[in-house]
Amino acid sequence: MSDVMVVWKDEAYIQLLMHFYKYATESVCGVFLGTTEYSESQSLCTITVYDCLPLCHISLPSNPMLQVGIQLSQIIAKEKKWVALIGCYFAGERFDASEPNQSDWLVDRVSQHCDNCKLLVISDNRKLVPDIRTSQVPLRFFQVSSGEMAKELETDKLDIIPMSLLEKTEKFLLDKEIMESFHDFDDHCMEPSFDWLNRHIKSLSLDTD
């Protein structure tokens, strides 16, 4: 494996945390769209996460719509052309559910649809507490590769979320109206008028200082 550095666009990180917090008592999962760029020596892979597509929060991992959501995400990536499906994320409903082996099933399913699944993000439920006013990033980052064990990224690869983005994310999480307007693919399947791509959230994240 090459070393990995992760760079986040604001709207992707904000939607990731919104999904975790909106369904804090459920297991949730989704995928990332982004780009990967290797150094000339191939020793470093820089992953830029441009978008977060929230998929499911119901009956994981047996939810039959999960596969449909992953397939649609791959179609969306192909239509955009300049991004690919590059990773996935998971938050378990249990307080101690923050180990990579608890989401092997998700990595396997995403990998069936892309050869570029490099990043696994897991909610660290010990840090995902009701008081969100914290500078701690409640996430664990893992590098994944087909046929190999997930490798947790080193500390210097994790210092990637600037304080300005943490503060902006907090504003979204504390806004009840915005949180209620956030939807995942499960929500969309139950009520088709719900926009699981959350275009309004993306627009707000770009406009918010």
Domain for residue 145, yes or no? yes
Domain for residue 208, yes or no? no
Domain for residue 11, yes or no? yes
Position 4: which residue type?
V
- Phi and psi (nearest 5°) for 11? -65, -30
- The pLDDT tens digits for 76-134 are 999 999 999 999 999 887 656 556 666 788 888 888 877 777 888 888 766 665 555 55
Torsion over CA: 70, 72, 74, 77 (sign): negative
- The residue ranking higher by pLDDT, 48 or 4, is 48
Domain for residue 209, yes or no? no
Domain for residue 207, yes or no? no
- The residue ranking higher by pLDDT, 114 or 57, is 57
CATH of the domain at 151: 3.40.140.10
- Phi and psi (nearest 5°) for 41? -85, -5
pTM of the model: 0.88
pLDDT reported for residue 99: 62
pLDDT band with cut points at 50, 70 and 90 for residue 208: low
Which domain does 155 fall in, by range? 3-201
How many structural domains does the chain have? 1
Residue pair 58/89 in contact by the 8 Å Cβ criterion: no
